[in-house]
Amino acid sequence: MKLNDILTESQLDEFIPLTKQGRAIRRAEKAGAADVKQTVKDMETEFAGILGSQGKKFKTATTDDVVQFLKSKNVDTKKIDATQPMDAKRMQTIFTTLVKDKMGGKNIAGGASAPTDKGTQPATDPKVLKTVYSQTKAAFSQLNMKEKKRLLTALQKDITANTKKPAAKKQPAPSSKPRVRVKPTT
């Protein structure tokens, strides 16, 4: 009897060979699933702690409680249907979906994607660079001459440490006798 006789075509595609690589893949899959499960469990524990501090129980949490918790975590809650009743299974499904999305690289942050205040502007923004430059210049102008010299030497040391050139090959020391190559006679 052959393996093809026992298994269907779709089962053959899912079959992981018993090789080193197959075992490594299987271990990685199990580790990823365990990581998701532990993260969801941690979120549920934190949520239960917050509910407990408010005098509420985990089993009787409302949709609004879950939404407020996720908003405090800066998570987009638009996909959560507020009309459906909340139970433990639904909370676990919501948390699991969010954790999987986050681990999958999706952006789950709530709010607008555009920066709204100065604190979240990217550092390459010309306005921010001018501000940083003017602040640095103002701080430098308040230093006395001795402090300026110390700062200058520290910066020079830092620059030379970051731009080390690879060491050149050592040249043999010149000898006092000239080298003469003698060809063997045949």
What are the domain boundaries of the chain? 3-103
> What is the reported pLDDT for 178?
60
> What is the reported pLDDT for 7?
56
Task: Give the rounded distance of the alpha carbon of 155 from its chain centre.
Answer: 30
> What is the reported pLDDT for 175?
58
CA distances (Å), 136 to each of 103, 120, 126, 140, 178, in order?
Answer: 39, 20, 15, 6, 60
> What is the reported pLDDT for 77?
83
Q: Locate tokens 């524990």: which residue? A: 45
The predicted model scores a pTM of: 0.49
pLDDT in tens, 38-86: 998 998 999 899 889 888 888 888 888 888 888 888 888 888 888 888 8
CA distance 49 to 55: 10
DSSP conformation letters of 11-37:
HHHHPPPSSHHHHHHHHHHHHHHHHHH
Per-block mean pLDDT, blocks of 10 residues, the chain (186 long) = 57 61 85 89 90 88 88 84 84 88 78 46 61 77 85 83 64 60 70
Tokens of 168: 């050149």
> What is the reported pLDDT for 118?
45
CA distance 42 to 46: 6
> What is the reported pLDDT for 116?
43
